[in-house]
Amino acid sequence: MTGAHNQSAIGTLVERQTRMVRLLHLPFRDGDSLHAALTARMRDLPAALLRSITWDQGSEMARHTTIARSLGAPVYFCDSRSPWQRGSNEDANRLLRDYFPKGTDLAIHSPEHLLALENELNSRPRVNLQDRCPTELFTALLESQNPSVLRR
């Protein structure tokens, strides 16, 4: 998600089954900042949850091969101008725009503020999750050997 004049950014990661959101504080909108933030933020996840990453075509994704090696997960790119190929992420970004309107400077938000917002969003029931919240489903996913607990 980019801010005013595309000069600032917040990275958004969404786990596809549970819609769990993770936000990345990006002090600069470049590949090095994204790599550092992404590898630090994903370090606590089990390897089984890092099966792949799907990105848009932004220039900050330039270090995708380094990130794929660091995380042990392939990186896929959506077709240009095809946001529906990352539907879960686009839905999360739509929710985040309530907190970060277009045209605002995203660099002013601290990592602590982003974490608080992330926790708020993940504790919010969602219609597409049958009124369950992402935190509840993500916890079940982590505790389960069988991901079928997430099926409707």
Residue 124 has pLDDT above 90, yes or no: yes
pLDDT for 75 equals 86
Report percent pLDDT > 70 for the chain.
Answer: 94
Alpha carbon of 123 to those of 26, 45, 77, 113, 136: distances in Å? 23, 19, 29, 16, 8
Nearest residue to 71 via CA among 48, 102, 101, 95: 48
Q: Which residue has the higher pLDDT, 64 or 23?
A: 23
How much is the average pLDDT of 74-83? 84
Quick one: CA dihedral 119, 120, 125, 126, positive or negative? negative
